Amino acid sequence: MTALRVLQAGPLVILMLLAAAMALLSPYFLTGRNLANLGFQASFVAVLALGQLLVIVTRGIDLSVGSVVGLAGVLAVDATAGASTLLVFAMAGLAVGLANGSVLVWGRVMNPFIVTLGTLGIVRGLALVLSDGQTRTGLDPVVTALGSDSVAGIPAPVLVVAALSAVIGGMLSRTQWGRWIYAVGGNPDGARRAGIPADRVLLSVYALSGLMAGVAAILVAGRTDSASPLAGQLLELDSITAVIIGGASFVGGRGRVLNVLAGALIIGVIRNGLDLLSVSPFWQMIAIGALVILSLELDVVRGGLETRLRASRALEATA
Amino acid sequence: MTPLLDVRGAVKSYGAVKALDRASLTVDAAEIVALLGDNGAGKSTLIKAISGVHALDAGTISLGGAAVAFRSPLEARAAGIETLHQDLGLFDNLSAVANFRIGRELRRPAWLGRLALLRERAMQEDWLVQLERLAVDRVDARQEVGLMSGGQRQAIAVLRAVAFAGRLVILDEPTAALGLRESAKVLDLVRRLPERGVAVVLISHNLEHVTQVADRAVVLRQGRTVGEAAPTAANHEALVSMIVGAVPRTAAGST
């Protein structure tokens, strides 16, 4: 039982250990400026990972979120000024998410990997076509404020992540819909037989993942005050990495917001810390890749522990 | 008297395999009917049709005299039919209480609809009351069901089916994973259901259990209803003959 608890808290423990190690190795790591920088970087991944978590809990995956970051920026840079620019970002993301979900649910292509691999290409292509491959600068001040301002030393994107985490975390753990998301991930057939509208649950998680990608696009564009059709490339993989390092299970039904945030921060700390130590980015890729495999291994170990626990219970019951 | 449940001429094919071939079944209000048959006789297919999991190719199902055609398990549930399927339909990643209440969570405020907050405490208190009825020990309400023993898992699934049934509960092998003591408790629970006005369709391979609780036993073979008998100890042999297809009355071929 205690071993299980440790594994469930694993991502937070790994994060602490990594941060402590970096703090020892580099005197700059714990400076306010560096931590703010880390916050900006990790926030993109964190926002995407929140959406990705919902999808992965239902046994799915969303490979299109990085492309959405590119497309939403391209659409928004030409859009009307003011707060409605934010709406353009959000709607672009939501539209792609709804498209993913619709194809999955009604198109009867029950393979999210293939569907979102398709939209990854389509959406990135659209961004390139619409922008003619050009990066444009000059976004609405609301966008740059959200992406690059700080409030009392805390980067605005970090506050955005905190707010979204509270909303999504609350939805997952405290509402009926959140319970149903876990149910659909845990036993899709059982969920349908229990009268849960599994199709609508699936549609909603892809829609939310798209919406999160739209929000991440605001932060990315606001940070650089520009909209590049290539923005967000490979961020989909970072978001999946964060969710898996955060201990969510690829077979569905498991995953918690707090651990996913830890996962996003772990990626951030590794990149930031190794940068400070002047380690080549090539090695960073290797380090993060190794961590992904290690996380999956921990998931396997947890599964084994659970089986043993169940077996001992069964013996107890018959004794 | 109009039977509570009346299935007539039920036909269901899976590709070339005819799982049901004009099967019939009647259940009176507050009656306990055992549905017997060998593996592949069509028992599970028949109850899946009654509980709205899949539709029949042909045949009729009436409930309380009115024809019904459930397009989903939800519709069957709304009509007062609860089903315990053989795979239990549990969610290993959720707690015992969450499993018990799945799809019927208590929540508030109502105007938030499905985004309303779960009333965890109220659900837990209700769960404890239900647990007492089955007298199952050592089921931690908050523990994940995936970590529980086979008997505990089955107990949770049985409780879920029984607690919410309004008119009919269908139990597919409710004692399969249970020990002697636990089986006795489940059978006791089944026997008391008619007091609440709830009828039972019980599928079991255990004739002993059937004898203990059922008013009537109906036998399916190769998708057809081949006979019925009172499930008494004296009738065991006759029932077994019907199940395996060595019908005594034909004499020919039987030993």
Domains and CATH numbers, chain A: 2-310 (1.10.3470)
Q: What is the pLDDT of residue A94?
A: 97
For the stretch B100-135, pLDDT in tens is 999 899 998 888 888 899 999 999 998 888 888 766
Q: Is A281 exposed, middle or buried (0-12, 13-18, 19+ CB in 10 A)?
A: exposed
Prior bond of A157 cis (ω within 30°): no
Cβ count within 10 A of residue A313: 18
Task: Tell me the average pLDDT across A202-215.
Answer: 98
Which chain A residue is nearest to residue B115, measuring alpha carbons?
A175
Looking at 3.40.50.2300, 1.10.10.10, 3.30.565.10, 3.40.50.300, the CATH number of the domain B5-250 comes to 3.40.50.300
Query: For residues B148 and B137, what is the distance between their CA atoms, to the nearest angstrom?
Result: 12
CA dihedral in degrees (B203, B208, B212, B218; nearest 10)?
Answer: 40
A38-62 residue pLDDT tens: 999 999 999 999 999 999 999 999 9
Q: State whether B146 and A310 contact (CB < 8 Å).
A: yes
Q: How far is B112 from chain A (nearest CA, A)?
A: 10
Record: contact A310-B179, CB cut-off 8 A: no
Q: Which residues contact A67 (CB under 8 A, 6 or more apart)?
A: A96, A119, A120, A121, A122, A123, A124, A127, A232, A236
Give the whole-angstrom CA distance, residue A240 versus residue A264: 10
Q: Which residues pair with B165 in a beta bridge?
A: none
Is residue A195 a contact partner of residue B103, using CB atoms and an 8 Å limit?
yes
- What is the structure's pLDDT at A157? 96
Q: What are phi and psi of B83, to 5 degrees?
A: -130, 135
The region that residue A7 occupies, defined by phi over 0 for left and psi between -120 and 50 for alpha, beta otherwise, is alpha
pLDDT higher than threshold 60 for residue A249: yes
Place of tokens 């006979």: B227
- The whole-number pLDDT of residue A2 equals 65
Residues of B in contact with A171 (CB under 8 A): 115
Cβ–Cβ contact A200 with B under 8 A: no
- DSSP bridge pairs for A175: B117
- Here the tokens at position A290 are 């190794």
Which residues of chain B make contact with A195, given a CB cutoff of 8 A? Answer: 72-74, 77, 103
Reported ipTM: the value is: 0.85
Query: How much is the pTM?
Result: 0.89
Q: Do B103 and A174 touch (CB under 8 A)?
A: no
Q: Flag if B147 and A186 touch (Cβ within 8 Å).
A: no
Q: Are strands B81-84 and B168-172 parallel, antiparallel or unpaired?
A: parallel
* Residue ranges per structural domain of chain B: 5-250
Residues B154, B160: Cα–Cα separation, whole Å: 10
Chain B environment of A186 (Cβ under 8 Å): 91-94
The amino acid that residue B196 corresponds to is R
- Contact between chains at B114 and A180 (C-beta distance less than 8 A): yes
Coil, helix or strand at residue A214? helix
